[in-house]
Chain A
């Protein structure tokens, strides 16, 4: 049994016993090769690289994002702020949260920006929306990946406000899931969030409903 002293729980005896049970159970399948070599032997004949042209990949991403009710535009680097201004104005949003380190050239004038300083969840709930960059996007699944790095910020920032405007640089777009993992590998211990479209549920009669707890409104600007 786990023993507990002043709130400190000691489960070391359970640990020993469980590991002993596992060891005994696996006796019959013991392999003399080192574990890392056994792992290398796992066959991976699935697709691990792109098969489409760059343009096809970008179109696929746009298509998949729209399929999940995201609002997507593609624009040249110089036009990013103008595109963002149009999207924010369309939603009537004024007061926006931004993580530290977001490229200021992408932010249009005429809006109130507040740089995240670790505000409470309730305070985050008071913003009209949030603007972030992204680490990588996967065309085949319509996913965008955020990590805790400058320009993307802590996870709560892109979660609590009801509107998320996200910049995706075209050079960060890959076609397949394995290509994305290849890029994420170096920073795999950072807090990481994949999102595909706005929050959704199909728990009621399997009808997809947009918007439950995460941001209900998602704008994506693909930056060329």
Chain B
């Protein structure tokens, strides 16, 4: 995972169970992930409990997003019109390849010709298309300026969380990276020392580099404005100081009106980082004379989002506002961390987003990377029913895999049993007969199975299974009969 130039790509990543086995063996990583998710979850719970109208906000948030998606064409055109009117330029990209080509072309046009460089704000959309690799191939050096993204970039690592991409690293590991990459052998390991080092390292770049690349949290159709939320001020630096700003946004990021932000800016920070409001929110519209970049380009990227929109059950995935609350709440993510998902979108949202944005056959194991416990749905600020979408995608995987595999055949067999009382009872008897060679008696004389073959072997890795009862409830009931009162 840490090898240079490797990227999290579902096309080349191992399946979730295989990748998870590796991360489960990394005790330091698991400790870091557990600590971080616990801290955010507790902070979130505290600030959400402060809000007597939290459930009402969630419902409004859901309705706003659903309404936006149902009228996406209108709102994108409205955004484009208003952004252009305000002095911005809007580009459209069908997929990641087109988006990368547009951004690299713009970067090479505007960045210093002798030494082309850009500064970047943390953006999952650019991670999704691996923009930095494309920029580098085009000879443009990209500097990540978010502290966590800087840790990832300097550590030749990959993001493992939507909001806190380096949460799998602890302070000692971060210090080692900074010592090596910033050439600071004396650097301390206090978080303040590390943040100070990042400030010094990046300040010079903020003041010098003339082109920035950002993502967007929200595009505002009504005004043509863009909103970015952040904590450190690196975002403000990138949005304000360079001459040129290139913003790349998925077509799902649009909001109808300015005042819709009053809902989103309450839901997002409390869900994402457990803050009442992000330390910084920036909203700007096109180009403003004497304030900020002279050149402003927006790239609106589809990259399979319109395909997701066409799926009546899967489309609610597009309502996501990338808060990461589902990741922090997920008991699976908390065990494995993000890299096991083989995609920059990890956790429950990744398990539904990745298979839909990528071709499903590259991500067939992801919809199964969940116990369907529902903790993700409970915390989702826009009420995406993630378990429901997971089940929907599992159905697509089953159809894609076809009927001729051991699991499908076993499921078909079970289905046949459940459709007939006679066959069901026969199976209960047969099951008892079939398990006999596997049953061992324990000290109290109860029968237990400690080893199972094939697909079921996963169960007996760490669990026993009680033998089937000698007398089923059904048998008992028939002997006893119904008793009236």
Direct interface between A and B, CB < 8 A: yes
Chain A: residues with CB nearer than 8 A to chain B?
Answer: 1-2, 4, 7, 9, 11-12, 14-15, 17-19, 21-26, 28-29, 31, 35, 38-39, 42-47, 64, 68, 118, 121-122, 125, 138, 140-143, 148, 154-156, 159-160, 177-178, 180-182, 184-185, 188-207, 209, 211-215
Q: How far is the CA of A214 from the CA of B236 in the complex (A)?
A: 8
A42 near B288 with CB under 8 A, answer no
> Residues of A contacting B288 with CB < 8 Å?
148, 190-191
B102 near A204 with CB under 8 A, answer no
> Residues of B contacting A24 with CB < 8 Å?
310
Asked if B191 CB lies within 8 Å of chain A CBs, one says: yes
A2 near B93 with CB under 8 A, answer yes
> Residues of A contacting B67 with CB < 8 Å?
38-39, 42
Q: How far is the CA of A185 from the CA of B261 in the complex (A)?
A: 11
Partner of B146, one of A15, A203, A205: A203
> Residues of B contacting A160 with CB < 8 Å?
241
> Residues of A contacting B282 with CB < 8 Å?
155, 191-194
Asked if B263 CB lies within 8 Å of chain A CBs, one says: yes
Could you say which of B164, B198, B306, B307 has the most chain A C-beta atoms within 10 Å of its C-beta?
B306
Partner of B191, one of A1, A12, A18, A205: A205
- Taking A11-B98, A206-B35 as contacts, is the C-beta distance between A199 and B231 under 8 angstroms? yes
A202 near B231 with CB under 8 A, answer yes
B206 near A203 with CB under 8 A, answer no
Partner of A22, one of B145, B224, B258, B306: B306
Chain B contact surface mostly: helix
Asked if B358 CB lies within 8 Å of chain A CBs, one says: no
- Taking A25-B306, A43-B60 as contacts, is the C-beta distance between A141 and B276 under 8 angstroms? yes
- Taking A22-B251, A155-B291, A182-B259 as contacts, is the C-beta distance between A205 and B35 under 8 angstroms? yes
Asked if B40 CB lies within 8 Å of chain A CBs, one says: yes
B279 near A196 with CB under 8 A, answer yes
B203 near A213 with CB under 8 A, answer yes
Q: How far is the CA of A7 from the CA of B297 in the complex (A)?
A: 13
| Chain B residue at minimum C-beta to C-beta distance from A142 | B276
Partner of B147, one of A11, A182, A212, A214: A212
A-B contact pairs, 15 of them (CB 8 A): A11-B102, A21-B302, A26-B69, A26-B72, A44-B56, A46-B57, A46-B266, A47-B52, A118-B290, A121-B241, A154-B292, A190-B288, A201-B232, A204-B147, A213-B232
- Taking A14-B98, A46-B263 as contacts, is the C-beta distance between A9 and B292 under 8 angstroms? no
CB distance from B265 to the nearest CB of A (A): 6
Q: How far is the CA of A188 from the CA of B262 in the complex (A)?
A: 12
> Residues of A contacting B275 with CB < 8 Å?
196
> Residues of A contacting B11 with CB < 8 Å?
none
Could you say which of B86, B206, B258, B277 has the most chain A C-beta atoms within 10 Å of its C-beta?
B277
| Chain A residue at minimum C-beta to C-beta distance from B304 | A21
Q: Of residues 68 to 94 in B, which have CB atoms within 8 Å of A's CB atoms?
A: 69-74, 76-77, 86, 91-94
B291 near A185 with CB under 8 A, answer no
For the A-B complex with A142-B276, A206-B36 known, give 4 more contacts whose Cβ atoms are closer than 8 Å: A44-B56, A177-B262, A191-B283, A203-B146
Asked if B344 CB lies within 8 Å of chain A CBs, one says: no
Q: What number of residue pairs across chains A and B have CB atoms under 8 A from each other?
A: 273
Asked if B111 CB lies within 8 Å of chain A CBs, one says: no
| Chain A residue at minimum C-beta to C-beta distance from B236 | A159
Q: How far is the CA of A25 from the CA of B69 in the complex (A)?
A: 10
- Taking A43-B63, A125-B207, A212-B195 as contacts, is the C-beta distance between A205 and B171 under 8 angstroms? yes
| Chain B residue at minimum C-beta to C-beta distance from A192 | B283
- Taking A2-B102, A9-B91, A192-B284 as contacts, is the C-beta distance between A18 and B279 under 8 angstroms? no
Q: Of residues 283 to 315 in B, which have CB atoms within 8 Å of A's CB atoms?
A: 283-286, 288, 290-292, 300, 302, 306-307, 309-310, 312, 315
CB distance from A116 to the nearest CB of B (A): 10
In the A-B complex, the 6 residue pairs with the smallest Cβ-Cβ separation, listed nearest first, are A214-B233, A141-B277, A25-B310, A213-B233, A21-B306, A154-B291
Asked if B256 CB lies within 8 Å of chain A CBs, one says: yes
A42 near B63 with CB under 8 A, answer yes
B292 near A155 with CB under 8 A, answer yes
Number of interface residues of B (CB under 8 A): 104
Q: How far is the CA of A18 from the CA of B98 in the complex (A)?
A: 12
Q: How far is the CA of A193 from the CA of B147 in the complex (A)?
A: 20
| Chain A residue at minimum C-beta to C-beta distance from B286 | A189
Could you say which of A28, A155, A213 has the most chain B C-beta atoms within 10 Å of its C-beta?
A213
B241 near A7 with CB under 8 A, answer no
A188 near B263 with CB under 8 A, answer no
Asked if B186 CB lies within 8 Å of chain A CBs, one says: no
Asked if B15 CB lies within 8 Å of chain A CBs, one says: no
Q: How far is the CA of A25 from the CA of B265 in the complex (A)?
A: 28
B240 near A156 with CB under 8 A, answer yes
Q: How far is the CA of A26 from the CA of B64 in the complex (A)?
A: 16
| Chain A residue at minimum C-beta to C-beta distance from B198 | A212
Q: How far is the CA of A178 from the CA of B77 in the complex (A)?
A: 26
> Residues of B contacting A18 with CB < 8 Å?
92, 94, 251, 300, 302, 306
Scoring B residues 190 to 214 as 1 if CB is less than 8 Å from chain A, else 0, what string do you get?
0110110011001100110000000
> Residues of A contacting B148 with CB < 8 Å?
203
- Taking A154-B290, A155-B291 as contacts, is the C-beta distance between A202 and B273 under 8 angstroms? yes
Q: How far is the CA of A46 from the CA of B239 in the complex (A)?
A: 32
Partner of A191, one of B109, B167, B284: B284
Asked if B28 CB lies within 8 Å of chain A CBs, one says: no
Could you say which of B36, B53, B195 has the most chain A C-beta atoms within 10 Å of its C-beta?
B195
Partner of B240, one of A2, A44, A138, A159: A159
Q: Of residues 96 to 128 in B, which have CB atoms within 8 Å of A's CB atoms?
A: 98, 101-102, 105-106, 109
